[in-house]
A and B are shown apart, each in its own frame.
Chain A
C-alpha cells in the first residue's frame, strides 16, 4: 500500500474538521452575556459603595464641625470660678471632683480659721494630777 501524497493528506485532514454543536455557540454567547451582566452589577455595587462612603464622610465632617462649634477646643477655662489648685501632699493622687471638693474645704482647716472644739489642757492642771497609784489612794 503506497503512502498517501502529502497534499492529499492535508486535504483529508482539512476535511476532517469535527464540527461543534449548535448548542456550543448558544452556550458561549449566554455565558458572555451573563459575565457582562455580572460586571455591570459589580460596577453598580462599587459605585454605590463609593457614593455611600462619600455621604458618610460628609456626614461625619459636618457632625465634627457642629461639635467643634458647640465645644471650642481652645476655649479658655474659667479659672476665676475655680478654687486655687491645691498643692498640699494630701491632695496628690485624688481625682478631679474629689480634689475640687477638698480644695473648697481646705480654707476651713487652715490655722486660725477653725477653732478647736475643746480648749487645750493647761500645763498646771497636768502637773497637779496624781501620777502614781499611791497618790491616788
Chain B
C-alpha cells in the first residue's frame, strides 16, 4: 500500500466530490500539465488533455480511488488522453516557435531546452516528463506505461544523454 492509498483525499474522490478533485488538481495539476505539454504540440492541446484527464478520472472515480497509486493512475489517464488528442490531430513535433494560439500565453521557460525536447522520441520524452515533472518513480512510470521498470530507467537515461548531446555540442 502506498502513501496515496492512505490519503484522506481518496474517500471524497471516490464519491466524486469536486472539492477533492480540486485538491488533487492543486497537488498534481502542474505535473500533469507539464507532462501533457511534453507529449503534445501546443499549450491548448495540453490543457485539453488535462481537462479530459480529470473528466476521465471523475467518470472512473471508484477505480481511481482504489488504484494502488492514484497518482500513477492519473498520469496513465493523461497519457491516454494525450494519445487520443494526438490521433485526432495529425501528429506534430513540438513547434520551434510559439504558435499564434500560444502568443498571449506565458512563454516556455527554456526555449532551447523545449526545442531539444521536441526532437526526442515520444517514448523518451514521456518518461522524462513523468520522472521530472510528474515526480513518478520508475516503478510508477513502468505501471503507467505498461513497460518494465528497467525499460523506463533506460529510456530516461537515453533521453538525458540525447539532450546532453543536443544542448552541449555545437549546433
Residues of A at under 8 Å CB distance from B?
1-4, 6, 9-10, 12-21, 24-25, 27-29, 31-33, 35-36, 39
Asked whether B132 is an interface residue with its Cβ less than 8 Å from the other chain, the reply is yes
Query: Which one of B18, B106, B160 contacts A9 once the chains associate, using CB atoms below 8 Å?
Result: B160
26 A-B contact pairs sorted by A residue (CB < 8 Å)? A1-B168, A1-B169, A1-B170, A4-B167, A9-B167, A12-B110, A14-B133, A15-B109, A16-B108, A18-B33, A18-B34, A18-B37, A18-B46, A18-B106, A18-B108, A19-B30, A20-B30, A20-B46, A21-B105, A24-B47, A25-B26, A25-B29, A29-B18, A32-B18, A32-B21, A32-B55
Asked whether B85 is an interface residue with its Cβ less than 8 Å from the other chain, the reply is no
Count of interface residues, chain B, beta-carbon cutoff 8 Å: 40
Complex Cα gap A110–B74 (Å): 97
- In the complex, the chain A residue whose C-beta lies closest to that of B160 is A6
Complex Cα gap A69–B37 (Å): 74
Q: A6-B164, A9-B163, A18-B37 are in contact. Are A27 and B132 (CB under 8 A)?
A: no
CB-based contact A9/B164 at 8 Å: yes
